[in-house]
Structures are given as C-alpha cells and as structure tokens.
Structure 1
Amino acid sequence: MSKITSLRTIRIPERQNLLWVEVTTDEGLTGLGESFRGSAAVEAVMHDVVAPYLIGRDARRIEAHSRHLLTPYVGFGGSSAEVRAASAVDMALWDLAGQRHGIPIHEALGGAVRDSIRAYNTCAGYDYNSRGAGQRRIGEADAVTGPYDDQVAFFRDAGALAESLLSEGYAAMKIWPFDPHADASGGQMISLEGLKKGLEPFEKIRRAVGDRIEIMAELHSLWSVHAATRICRALEDVGIFWAEDPIGKMDDLESLAELRRAVRVPICGSETLGGKVNFRRALSLGAVDIVMLDLAWCGGLTEGRKIAALAEAHARPLAPHDCTGPVALWAGLHLALHAPTAIFQEVVRATLATWYRDLVTELPVIRNGLVQAPTAPGLGCALNPAVARRDDAIVRESRA
C-alpha cells in the first residue's frame, strides 16, 4: 500500500487564479497537481471534501479515487469547483505513480506514441488570464511590455508576429481579434464593420508569411449561433486551422452542432467541458472536428485519457489546452505524447519565458516548434519550494 498521509494546498495573490496541491504518501513521495479559476473555492473543496476522503487511502487506486470524486451522490456537471479539485488531485496521483515506478507519466499511461509533439503558440501576453476573472482587452493605449507581448502584437502588427514565431520554429498560432466586438451586443451579433476589423490580423498574417503558418481563431465562447456563423463564414477564405469555442456556452451541444452544419471551417471544442459524457455527446452529435480538453477542468489524466479514447474512436484529432499554469501544461504534454490522435500541445511563449519558470523546477523543452518527451519520473517537475515560503502565500494542510 502507498498510504496518503497529507494534502497541502498553496496559492499566492500574484497568481490568484492558480492553486497547487501536493499529495504526500508514507513512502516519502509527494505528487503535484494544479487547478485554475476560483482558487479559493477549489481550496475549500480540497480540505472540506477531498482530504477527508483521500487521506489514509491507497494512492495507487487512481481509477477508484477518480470515480468517487467525479461522481458523488449529488452529482457535479461541467467544470465545477468539485471537478477542478478532483482534476488537480488526479494529476498528483499520476505524478506519484510515475515517481513510484521511476517512469514518466506518458509511460505509465501505456507508453508514448511519439517522441515529440508540435506546439502552437497562443498569442497571449505576460499576465494574460492569471490575475483576475476576466480576459484582457487590448486598446490603443496598451504598450508592449516585452518581446513576447503577443496579444498586443496581433492587434498591432500580426504579420510581424507571425514572422517572429516562424523564426523560433512555431508553425501555428492562435489569435482572438473578434473579442472586442462582442461586448456591444452581448455576443448576439457582429456588425459588418466589426467583422472586417476582426479579419484584418488574419489577412495581414497571410500577406506577410503566406501559408507557412497555421492560424487558429479563438472565439472564447462569446457568440450566439447567428454571430458565430457570420464570423466562421468570413474566416473560410483565410484558411484557418480551426475556430475554437465559437458559442456561449459550449455545453449547448445541439446549437454547436447546428453551427457546425452551417459552416465549412473546422470547429474545435472545448476546454470548458467537464467529463467524458459531454465529450461523448459532442462527438455523437458531430458538433466538433477537433477535441480540445483541459486536464485541470475535465477530471484530470484519468478522465482525459478516456476522452482521448473517445476522440480516437470517432477519428477526431486531440489538442490539450494550456493557457493556465505550468503543471497543467506538463500533464497535457504527457497525454499528448500518449494519445494516438493528438496533433498539438498548446503553449504560451510569453509565460514560458517568464513566470511559469518561477513556479516550477522544470519546464517542457521545445525545439524547432516541437515539445520534447520528458524522461524524468512522474510529471517531470515539482513546485518551486520558494512559492510556499513567500510571505503572502496561503498554505493549508490536511493530515491524518
């Protein structure tokens, strides 16, 4: 038996959306997990619900713990605080499994099917989505704060941004220039003027680099079916790789399927869905062409590999999400290396170059746009000990 002896959570005001969990066993091993959004709520679930169940149990029984935490008596839908807590703990248990056997998680899952996977760069800036509840809006007054302030760049000079990414080996990029035009109508419509303005960055990229880079359009679950249809049809002529999360909310799978039937661009979804059943429905309805999942929101690696199997069964490619934190990135990478239909691992070069490296001991290695398979046991990283020692760190521990 590998008995779980403690569960510790850490969060810091500087990155208020993030929560880390460390699960320790009587073997002297510590597994690491991560949650994103509503960190205080997830922290409460961790200590009020998860810890009383988990402490004293066998860390090797990952499947049993996943089923218990994801299917309680009341039942939790979508990516609730309960699901996010279960997801983070599941990551930590897989990290423990890899460490226990001295192998990386992708090997523990059944082995890698590739030695590396193609990265695409989400063109966010240095503090995108990490401090508050909302998305950053770019305006004329925004200044570039460093060489990788890519969200400002795609509004200002998308062609130069594409050239910069190609020079570093990235052959795919994701941008969201339609977002500013959603607020006026609550996403119910987009004007012709807004449509043309949103198309400009895509057109600038094509003029600058031609077809040498793939472009993904992020729509951030902002639009009605009518507005999303207008946007997707306008994007058909610029050859985008996918339109991501086009409608609000993405669990309205019947409306998503209606949109999919009305447009030619591939539809990608969705990091916001929790659990395999929602993905099964999306695939059965023919609502998505590319399956995107976030392991911090869908139930962790245990549920994630089941979603990957559903994608494979429906002959759909898989693309793990990362625009959140470094631990979820590591977890997504392991699944992307293992899952047969995975085609991309999302990264944000701005965060990889700055604050991600302050939080964990190691980061994934990217060479010529390819994320390399890790060889260290477990996830391949630990939380930087300095994070928990910060004066402003909020640390809670539950023990036997």
Structure 2
Amino acid sequence: MKITAIETLRTKEFANVLWVRVHTDAGIVGLGETFYGAGAVEAHIHDTLAQRLLGKNPLHIEAHSREMVALPMAQSSTGVEYRAASAIDIALWDVFGKVCDQPVHQMMGGLCRDKLRVYNTCAGTGYVRSNNIKPVENWSLDKPEGRYEDLDGFMNRADALAEDLLANGITAMKIWPFDPIAHENQGLFITAAQMKKGVEPFEKIRKAVGDKIDIMVEFHSLWNLPAAKVIARELEQYKPMWYEDPIKMNSPQALGEYARSTDVWVCASETLGSRWPYKDMLDHDALSVAMVDICWSGGLTEARKIASLAETWHRPFAPHDCIGPVGFAAAIHASFSQPNTLIQESVRAFYRGWYTELVTVVPKIEGGYVYPMEGPGLGVELLPAVFERSDLIVRKSEA
C-alpha cells in the first residue's frame, strides 16, 4: 500500500480547524485534524511533509512519526511542525484501523475500560471560534447563541451551572475565572479585590452543591510564579481537583517549586510537544497529571508514549480537548487504550453544538461518562455537507 495524495481542508467559519485526508492506492482514506494556525500548518504539510510521505507505506506509522519531527526546527514544541505531524499521524492511525477493520483503540492495544468519566470544560458556543486566540477576547461572551453557554455560566451564575451539570450526570467541571485579571495585570500581581472577584465562582459552586462536583482550575499559563502561588493558596479552601498550567510551561524548576507550594494536583500540559519536556517535568516532580493534546503533541503515536512515561512515574494521563471533532474522537481512542487514563476532557457546547455540523458521529456521552467509539479507524468522517461549503479551502499534494 502507498500514500498517493495528502489533502487538507479548512473553512473560513471554523478558521482554527484543519483536516488532513491521507489517500492510498487501496482506496482507503485516513482522516486527521489539528487546531490553530490552520493556514500555516497547511503550508507546512504541502511544502515540506508531503514530499517525505508520498509514495510511502501508510502503515509505517512509527517511522513516519520520527521523520516528520526530525527537522531541525521541530524541537519538542506545539508549533506548526508538531501540529502538522499530529494531524497526519492521526490520519495514518485511521488508515491502519480501516485496513484491519478495527477501531483505533483496538490497534493501540484494546480497551482498558468500558466507560470513562468526563469533565465539562465550561466554554461557550463561540469560544475559540475566531482567529483572535487571546485571553478574554476570544470568549464571545457578547454573542450567546445556544443552550450550553457555560463560559458565561461560570462567570455569572456558577451555582446554577454546577447544578445543571450534576443534573446531567456530569460530576467535574473546568473553569478559568482568573484569566481576565491576569490579562489586566499582565499576570504580575493580583489585588485583594481582584482575588475576591476571582473566587466568587468557587464560593457559589461549593455553596450550591458542596463537594458533589470536582472543580479543575485552568490558568492558561498567564501568571508569574509568585502570583500563581498566592492564588493557589487562596483556592485551596475550595478543594480544587487540579491547577492547570499556572505558569508558562518552559521551566521545570519553577513548576516544581509551584507544585511543592500546594497540596492541589498540578496538571500539565497541553502546551508541551513530544515526550521530552514531560520527562523534564517528571524529573522535577513538577506535575501530578500528564495532560496531552493529541492534535498538538505529535498525534496518537506520541500520546501513548507520554501516557506510558507518566505511568512510569506513577502519574495519571488526561487527554486535552477543546479543539475540533476529529481530535476529540482521537483523544477518546487514546484515553480508552491507556491504563492510567484518569478522566477525559469534553466541551458540551461543542459536542452538542458545532461538532454536529461537521462530522458523521460524535462520541456517546451519557450520565457523565463517554463510551468507546465504534467502527473501523477513528469511526468518524466529515459530513458530505462539508465538501459542499462555499467557504471551503482545499489543497492537495499528489504523488
């Protein structure tokens, strides 16, 4: 079998999402995805990677993974090179599953559980929808559109949101109320008044539902170390499940100091590419939970290595997902195939909303659990309507 063409697709409406379709001479087409900088990733795929992959056997996934990130500029980051490699890697696993008529999770070793607990990342329907990916500006709070405007919910009525999630069986939620403050202060300090404002959602949640729901706190790497430690101490009384990316993920020493300053778990990080920076973090006792974005960190091939690495340090694995529908499916396959998966991120505003406009299947999520994807490969395809969109941009490299 040979790779005969690599095709990319993106739309103006969903400007951050890039799909990759790997065509083979057997008629099997693998689907992959990445997120952010879609145009730049598209260019790298066609200008650099296509010539390395066309004519090759798509089932040599490990070799292709190494080849795609062997470039001098692709050094353990979540930049264009790794996002491009991730999308293609996911597509190659999709081909592998389709060739064998098995789900990707089976190709990765099989199911480790029958169902998996999810948490709800409390984004809204317009979150990360535009190209303006910056703290606060990309929230689209002024344009509520749907039933699940959970970002507006945690900012303004966190108690009602927690009650609604519990009513739907979801027992964990992730929020980021300190982002506007970090944006205002450049992450350098926090005043007493700002701290009071930041903890309001936590007070409301605990007053409304007590300890019935776990709270993950996302900081988006916006704070310096002293300020992050102050916030961590203040929030401990609300018993968060984890603190995620409190500082920039470029200093294992600094993150290790942060981890030692609190009893709350440190989760890190969707911003890390490849297993190497995770090893640095683990060597410094800097993380409790290894979070990996399948679409940014090297795809499924690298994700399972990071999961295994975390298990070596007796740490759980928790795939990130606040991106597109194909990446979500890939993350779920990874989650079910790894023995140390703790919990799966999900965004109900996405899987109950815009994901359904783009793909044939969204994962089954009921009662606070996600269930394994069915069918060969990833078990998901782009809807025919996607190929008919007037804003669709397609580029294809052929052997």
Q: Give the alignment's TM-score, normalised by structure 2.
A: 0.97
**Residues 18 and 130 of structure 1 are in contact (CA less than 8 Å); yes or no, is this contact kept in structure 2?**
no
Q: Are 1:179 and 2:179 matched, yes or no?
A: yes
**Residues 126 and 139 of structure 2 are in contact (CA less than 8 Å); yes or no, is this contact kept in structure 1?**
no
Change in Cα spacing, 1:399 to 1:257, as seen in structure 2 (3 Å) is same
Equivalences for residues 146-157 of structure 1 within 5 A:
146-157=146-157
Q: Which segment is superposed worse, 168-177 or 130-139? A: 130-139
Amino acid at match of 1:387: V
**Displacement of 1:383:** 1.4
Cα-to-partner distance string for 1:234-281 (whole Å, 9 max, x where unaligned) = 11100000010100x212222111111112211101001000001111
Q: Are 1:305 and 2:315 matched, yes or no?
A: no
- SS of 2:4's equivalent in the other structure is strand
Aligned residue for 1:80? 79
Equivalences for residues 198-209 of structure 1 within 5 A:
198-209=198-209
Equivalences for residues 387-398 of structure 1 within 5 A:
387-398=386-397
**Residues 243 and 268 of structure 1 are in contact (CA less than 8 Å); yes or no, is this contact kept in structure 2?**
yes
Q: Which segment is superposed worse, 138-147 or 52-61? A: 138-147
Equivalences for residues 1-400 of structure 1 within 5 A:
2-132=1-131, 133-137=133-137, 142=142, 144-247=144-247, 249-400=248-399
Question: Which runs of 5 or more structure 1 residues have no equivalent in the other structure?
Answer: none
Change in Cα spacing, 1:235 to 1:39, as seen in structure 2 (3 Å) is same
**Residues 292 and 318 of structure 1 are in contact (CA less than 8 Å); yes or no, is this contact kept in structure 2?**
yes
**Displacement of 1:155:** 1.1
Amino acid at match of 1:123: C
Q: Which segment is superposed worse, 133-142 or 344-353? A: 133-142
Q: Which segment is superposed worse, 133-142 or 221-230? A: 133-142
**Residues 121 and 348 of structure 1 are in contact (CA less than 8 Å); yes or no, is this contact kept in structure 2?**
yes
**Displacement of 1:134:** 2.1
Cα-to-partner distance string for 1:49-73 (whole Å, 9 max, x where unaligned) = 1111111000010000001111224
**Displacement of 1:366:** 0.7
Amino acid at match of 1:220: H
In structure 1, what is the Cα distance between the partners aligned to 2:24 and 2:141? 51
Cα-to-partner distance string for 1:18-45 (whole Å, 9 max, x where unaligned) = 1000001111111011011111000000
In structure 1, what is the Cα distance between the partners aligned to 2:137 and 2:241? 24
Amino acid at match of 1:155: M
**Displacement of 1:375:** 2.1
**Residues 319 and 345 of structure 2 are in contact (CA less than 8 Å); yes or no, is this contact kept in structure 1?**
yes
Q: Give the alignment's TM-score, normalised by structure 1.
A: 0.97
- How large is the RMSD of aligned CA atoms in angstroms? 1.5
In structure 1, what is the Cα distance between the partners aligned to 2:141 and 2:335? 39
**Residues 127 and 139 of structure 2 are in contact (CA less than 8 Å); yes or no, is this contact kept in structure 1?**
no
Q: Which segment is superposed worse, 128-137 or 56-65? A: 128-137
In structure 2, what is the Cα distance between the partners aligned to 1:126 and 1:389? 23
In structure 1, what is the Cα distance between the partners aligned to 2:113 and 2:140? 43
Change in Cα spacing, 1:241 to 1:43, as seen in structure 2 (3 Å) is same
In structure 1, what is the Cα distance between the partners aligned to 2:259 and 2:91? 36
**Residues 235 and 265 of structure 1 are in contact (CA less than 8 Å); yes or no, is this contact kept in structure 2?**
no
Q: Which segment is superposed worse, 140-149 or 154-163? A: 140-149
Cα-to-partner distance string for 1:356-393 (whole Å, 9 max, x where unaligned) = 11111110001211100122111110112221321111
In structure 1, what is the Cα distance between the partners aligned to 2:359 and 2:78? 25
The aligned length equals: 398
Q: Which segment is superposed worse, 380-389 or 302-311? A: 380-389
Q: Which segment is superposed worse, 74-83 or 200-209? A: 74-83
Amino acid at match of 1:166: L
**Displacement of 1:139:** 9.7
Change in Cα spacing, 1:222 to 1:74, as seen in structure 2 (3 Å) is closer
**Residues 128 and 139 of structure 2 are in contact (CA less than 8 Å); yes or no, is this contact kept in structure 1?**
no
- SS of 2:363's equivalent in the other structure is coil
In structure 2, what is the Cα distance between the partners aligned to 1:333 and 1:3? 28
In structure 2, what is the Cα distance between the partners aligned to 1:114 and 1:121? 20
- SS of 2:98's equivalent in the other structure is helix
Amino acid at match of 1:380: G
In structure 2, what is the Cα distance between the partners aligned to 1:138 and 1:147? 19
In structure 1, what is the Cα distance between the partners aligned to 2:211 and 2:358? 36
